[in-house]
Amino acid sequence: MRKKNVKIAITGANGFVGRFVLSELAENKHRPIAFVWQHDGSDLPGASDIVEVDIGDGDAVHAAVEKAKPDACIHLAAVSFVPDGAGNPRLTFSVNVMGTVNVLEAFRRVSPEARIVVVSTAQVYGKCEPGRIVTEDAPLRPSHQYGISKTAADLLALNYASDLGLRTMTARPHNHIGPGQSTNFVVASFARQMKEIADGKAEPRILVGNLESARYFTDVRDVARAYRLLIESGTPGRAYNISSRDAVRIVDVLETLCDLAGVRPRIEVDRSLFRPADNYPRLDTTRIEQDIGWLPRIPLVTSLRDILEGA
């Protein structure tokens, strides 16, 4: 589906990633339709239309798809903050699993030829030895409620391709960062604290979690481009890893942000900020490189500078 001017539904379009996906699609001559739960009236640049729909309501999702008649879908809507999985498992599974079922069923009944990317996560692989290289064929062994919910959605999407003939595929991204991300996430949290210190609005101290943890950060704009390329030319029935190639220690991210902001705050460790799993596998991205030619382009320092400027 390399043609342009394609109507593409984006669920969760008013979220952090969704806004970048809308812009990426519009800039590449597609017609993105923003599916949002509650629209507060704010501008959604790139959206050709905005549809309010509760992803947990199967009938409402069916009606929205029937009315919009999209040719493709990037399913982003999800509970995406890992601690929320344990704090509110009912909501997490309702949105992440049943929401995915509702989207897949709506397209199966209304638009069975549509191409669908269900956005999963690298957390489906669970805890791994540091630096271990993981392909899409590795066993899925999620280690917490959020990961379990996303694994169920991932497997459902692939099952709809293998058993029901839908043109579905899944994307398994590592951590992505960029301007506008919630301060629930580590880099955005650091940047906001740095900005307030630099502006004289906060005392020179910063709360941190596990600084020795290492992550594979990818700029959200590179991730949005990957989703667009998958919709255009990814292979249905396949899962795709999305990741940078190099792990970066959180302490190095912190030091770079300090340099960019021109501040040297006092560091205070808060163990409540530690995540349940801090061992992240290195994702093998050979498949996405070969199938659609995707590679990350934006250097980490550029991402950090843009995040700090937008904090």
Tokens 């879908």 belong to which residue?
73
Fold of 7-178+220-243+279-297: Rossmann fold (3.40.50)
Mean pLDDT for the stretch of residues 166-193: 95
Using DSSP, state whether 17 is helix, strand or coil. helix
How is 193-257 classified by DSSP, letter by letter?
Answer: HHHHHHTTSS-SEEEES-TT-EE--EEHHHHHHHHHHHHHHPPTT-EEEE--SS-EEHHHHHHHH
The reply to whether the predicted model has a pTM over 0.85 is: yes
Q: Is residue 1 over pLDDT 60?
A: no
Residue 239 pLDDT grade (very low, low, confident, very high; cuts 50, 70, 90): very high
For residue 278, what pLDDT is reported? Answer: 58
Q: Report the distance separating Cα 174 and Cα 301, nearest Å.
A: 18
**Which CA distances in Å does 120 have to 90, 91, 125, 144, 271?**
18, 17, 11, 14, 28
N-term to C-term CA, the chain? 37
- Per residue in 86-126, pLDDT (tens digit) is 678 999 999 999 999 999 999 999 999 999 999 999 999 99
For residue 280, what pLDDT is reported? Answer: 74
Q: Is residue 206 over pLDDT 60?
A: yes
Read off the tokens for 224. Answer: 């949005």
Instruction: Give the range among 84-93, 166-175, 190-199, 235-244 with minimum mean pLDDT.
Output: 84-93
Please, are residues 97 and 123 in contact by the beta-carbon 8 Å criterion?
no
Domain locations in the chain? 7-178+220-243+279-297
Residue 41 pLDDT grade (very low, low, confident, very high; cuts 50, 70, 90): confident
Residue 131 pLDDT grade (very low, low, confident, very high; cuts 50, 70, 90): low
Q: Which amino acid is at 161?
A: A
Residue 143 pLDDT grade (very low, low, confident, very high; cuts 50, 70, 90): confident
